[in-house]
């Protein structure tokens, strides 16, 4: 409830306020590819290429304790319901796992996860995963840092996910707001990879870092898939930045800020 309710209620409160303001011409909502990729037919390899027409299955999310994805899915569906009822011009950007330099004084949950993997300290329990994802709705960084950084040496996530540079996410939101032809959902995702591939890539370039060698055995989040970004590219979006650029920018930022 501490994760799901704020996500849904917060989104609805903003949209209802926007619907009452005559000066608001369009609303751009940040959702997530987490509201797209968690499906039984993806797990069963019945489909692999995912686009804006696909939705995560709430039952799948509950089965594998993917409560962040559950909240994002229900929250976005409710947003579309409100938009339809009010006649609002709503465009939703669905980014994948966001990587890149820090834009805030402290790392967000996604960057903290990367920092944890790079430093070799990670707790992968359902509780810590919930804490990590809940950082999206919280301003408290230090408790989250303590939970992860003071934990036992753990495992890297058994997760296959799309990655996207923060600069591309920003550009996607600008495009969604300014391009009159933009509508509906817009998948914003670069390359899809398993964390094992990411660690191998980083270990080759940063061999002194104590990366984890063991993959978590947790199921439900490692389904092979790809993200179809043809819709946003047809609107004139440039080529997405590469995985090496995303993570190089991220790690340089960690160095620059003393992490």
3-state SS of 85-125 is: HHCCCEEEEEECEEECCCCCCCCCHHHHHHHHHHHCCCCCC
In this prediction, residue 257 carries a pLDDT of 87
State yes or no: pLDDT of 255 exceeds 60: yes
Mean pLDDT confidence for 204-232 = 92
Mean pLDDT confidence for 24-37 = 96
Interatomic CA distance for residues 55 and 39, integer angstroms: 8
Mean pLDDT confidence for 248-258 = 92
Token pair in block for residue 191: 């390359």
In this prediction, residue 95 carries a pLDDT of 98
In this prediction, residue 167 carries a pLDDT of 97
- pTM equals 0.86
Mean pLDDT, the chain, whole residue set:
86
Q: Please state the domain extents for the chain.
A: 4-256
| β-bridge pairing 97-99 and 160-165 | parallel
Interatomic CA distance for residues 34 and 25, integer angstroms: 27
Mean pLDDT confidence for 157-163 = 95
What would the CATH number be for the domain defined by 4-256?
Answer: 3.40.50.720
State yes or no: pLDDT of 153 exceeds 90: no
> Is residue 221 very low, low, confident or very high in pLDDT (cuts 50, 70, 90)?
very high
């Amino acid at each position: 409830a501490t994760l799901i309710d704020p996500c849904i209620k917060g989104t609805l409160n903003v949209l209802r306020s926007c619907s009452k303001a005559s000066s608001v011409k369009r609303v751009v909502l940040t959702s997530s590819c987490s509201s797209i990729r968690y499906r039984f037919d993806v797990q069963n390899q019945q489909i692999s290429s995912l686009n804006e027409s696909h939705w995560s299955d709430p039952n799948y999310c509950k089965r594998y304790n993917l409560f962040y994805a559950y909240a994002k899915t229900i929250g976005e569906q409710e947003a579309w319901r409100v938009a339809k009822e009010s006649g609002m011009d709503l465009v939703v950007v669905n980014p994948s796992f966001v990587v890149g330099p820090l834009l805030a004084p402290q790392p967000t949950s996604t960057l903290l996860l990367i920092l944890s993997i790079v430093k070799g300290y990670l707790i992968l329990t359902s509780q810590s995963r919930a804490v990590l994802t809940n950082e999206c709705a919280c301003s408290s960084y230090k408790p989250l840092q303590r939970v992860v950084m003071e934990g036992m040496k753990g495992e890297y996530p058994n997760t296959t996910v799309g990655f996207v540079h923060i600069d591309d996410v920003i550009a996607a939101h600008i495009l969604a707001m300014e391009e009159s032809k933009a509508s509906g959902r817009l998948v914003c995702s670069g390359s899809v990879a398993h964390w094992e591939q990411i660690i191998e890539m980083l270990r080759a370039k940063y061999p002194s870092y104590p990366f984890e060698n063991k993959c978590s055995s947790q199921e439900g989040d490692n389904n092979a898939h790809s993200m179809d970004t043809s819709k946003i590219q047809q609107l004139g979006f440039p080529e997405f930045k590469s995985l090496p650029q995303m993570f190089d920018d991220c790690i340089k930022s960690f160095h620059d800020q003393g992490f």
